[in-house]
Amino acid sequence: MSLLSNTATLLGKELRTEFRSRELLTTTVVFILVVLILFSFAISPTTEESREFGPGLLWLAILFAASLMLQPCFLREQSNDTLSSLRLAVDDPFAIFLAKLIANTLFLLLTEVLMLPLFAVFYNIAILPKLHYLLLVLFLGSFGISVAGTALSAISAQARMRELLLPLLLLPLLTPILVVSATVSVSLLDREPIVQWQGIAFLAIFDLVFLTALWLFGEYLLEE
């Protein structure tokens, strides 16, 4: 009960501070938009090429944008040592992670939902036929990126060269999720769409494994 109520309170704080400053959302939306537009001009894709390359580019843009978004996640708790006050205040430090994880996933999903129509237009891809499955893949992929990214953000925030450390740790770790998400998305956006349940199951298992690891070892990541 305490975990859930503390998570809800902290999530409210995360959403309030972000919607007040709009630092993360603006950066992420602009980044994904620029990448999608640049690539659409650079490769001038036909519909067939778009189906093949588009989802990969979309996931690559999401991954890089996520690494930008995740960087300040714990870093901005450092300036006033608010992480210490949170650790003093909550019974279970997992609430701190859970709130940040949910907030990061929500921000990432919001960005993706805003970008999807533009992606469909720029890459001339019909996303509506399998939209519900595409949204499921986006959710599982974004959640996986957020779980791993939130944990690594906590580690990198306390290290020297913290700006470099997060992408260095994050990108190799998220390669499997990037490959699977892109592959499943390609199948969904194909002329004859197929739902790759194995890929979706892999994403769900990846999310579950990292969430469990965060729950078990998260406390140690917050120690000085």
Partner 1 sequence: MGATKTTVVTSPTLSPTGLRFENIDKRFGGLYALRRVSLEIAPGECVVLAGRNGSGKTTLLRVAARIVRPTAGKLSFPGASSESAGSGRPGYVAHTTMVYDELSAEENLVLFARLQGVPQPAARAEELLREVGLYERRASLVRTFSRGMRQRIAIARALVHRPSVLLFDEPATGLDPLGISWLAKSLSEVNCGGCTVVMSLHGESEISALATRAVQLDAGSVVADTNSGASLHSILTFGGA
User: Distance (Å, rounded) from C-alpha 140 to C-alpha 204?
Assistant: 6
Task: Name residues contacting partner 1, limited to 52-81 (CB under 8 A).
Answer: 79-81
Q: Is 47 one of the binding residues for partner 1 (CB under 8 A)?
A: no
Residues 154 and 221 sit within 8 Å (Cβ to Cβ): yes
6 near partner 1, rule: CB under 8 A = yes
Using the minimum distance from each CB to partner 1, give the nearer residue, 163 or 224.
224
- To partner 1, the closest distance from the beta carbon of 89 in angstroms equals 4
Q: Is 90 in the site for partner 1 (CB under 8 A)?
A: yes
- 88 and 97 in contact (C-beta within 8 Å)? no
Q: Which is nearer to partner 1, 10 or 211 (CB)?
A: 10
Would you tell me how many other CB atoms lie within 10 Å of the CB of residue 159? 11
Decide if residue 161 touches partner 1 (CB under 8 A).
no
Give the one residue of 29, 65, 73, 86 binding partner 1; rule: CB under 8 A: 86
Nearest to partner 1 of 21, 175 (CB atom): 21
Rounded to the nearest angstrom, the gap between the alpha carbon of residue 219 and the centroid of all alpha carbons in its chain is: 22
Question: Alpha helices of 44-174 — where are they, by DSSP H?
Answer: 47-75, 82-89, 94-122, 131-157, 162-173
Residue 103 found at the interface with partner 1 (CB under 8 A)? no
Under rule CB under 8 A, residue 24 binds partner 1: no
Q: How far apart are CA 135 and CA 188, in angstroms?
A: 11
Count residues binding partner 1 (CB under 8 A).
Answer: 24
Which candidate, 109, 116, 144, places its Cα nearest to that of 130?
116
Q: Would you tell me how many other CB atoms lie within 10 Å of the CB of residue 198?
A: 11
- Answer yes or no whether residue 46 interacts with partner 1 by CB under 8 A: no
Residues in contact with partner 1 by the rule CB under 8 A: 2, 5-6, 9-10, 13, 16-17, 20-21, 79-82, 84-91, 223-224
